[in-house]
Amino acid sequence: MKKIVVLLSGRGSNLQAILSAKLPCQIVAVISNREDAAGLKIAQAHGISTVVVQHNYYADRASFDAALAKEIDRFTPDVIALTGFMRILTADFVDRYLGKLINIHPSLLPSYTGINTHARVIQDGVKIHGCSVHFVTPTLDAGPIIIQAAVPVLHDDTVETLSCRVLQEEHRIYPQAIHWICREQVWMDAEGRVANNRLEQPGAPLISPGLS
């Protein structure tokens, strides 16, 4: 059974979704850069080891990442899942775990990398938004995409309503991506692309607003 370490900074809603999915893997630790992260309590309630590596105790990103890697390596994970981990990781850290490190991002990558995605989508008048699970590479939010989900942007959406709609899809696709990885149905190949041995879905267009 593959072992997973989860990294988080906040409420842990994606952690809860992963736990609720009862996947064929074991979450062996949850690590946070914030001691007040609510996700740590979720982990503790499920008997999962928790660790805090407080980022502001370190002089720079490299020293923080070295301390974080030391803690991760104690659990010898097969997968490291970022679930709202609000730290930009150094290239050395990413390269250390290349092919094992995955992330959930609230946009249809490669569009809208970085932060404040929902506000930017609304400002730009985008009609279809969503979320992506991807392998992490040294370039921020640029790794090969494992799975995506799309939602319509409604004419009266606010950041809060759109965020809520996207989050519901995050809770569906992140456990799915981890399930595929744990069953060795999806991986990052030597060319840095996503490879798989599972059947693809039949294609269908997504149009928003709908045609009349």
Catalytic center residues: 105
What six digits make up the tokens of 184?
């060795």
Checking phi first, is residue 114 left (phi over 0); if not, alpha (psi -120 to 50) or beta?
left
Is the four-CA dihedral 204, 206, 207, 212 of positive or negative sign?
Answer: positive
Is the four-CA dihedral 124, 130, 135, 136 of positive or negative sign?
Answer: positive
Q: Identify whether the C-beta of residue 188 lies closer than 8 Å to the C-beta of residue 99.
A: yes
Closest CA to 209 of 145, 148, 157, 172: 157
Cβ neighbours of residue 12 under 8 Å, at least 6 residues apart? 30, 37, 38, 39, 40, 41, 42, 43, 83, 84
- Gap between the Cα atoms of 188 and 35, Å rounded: 32
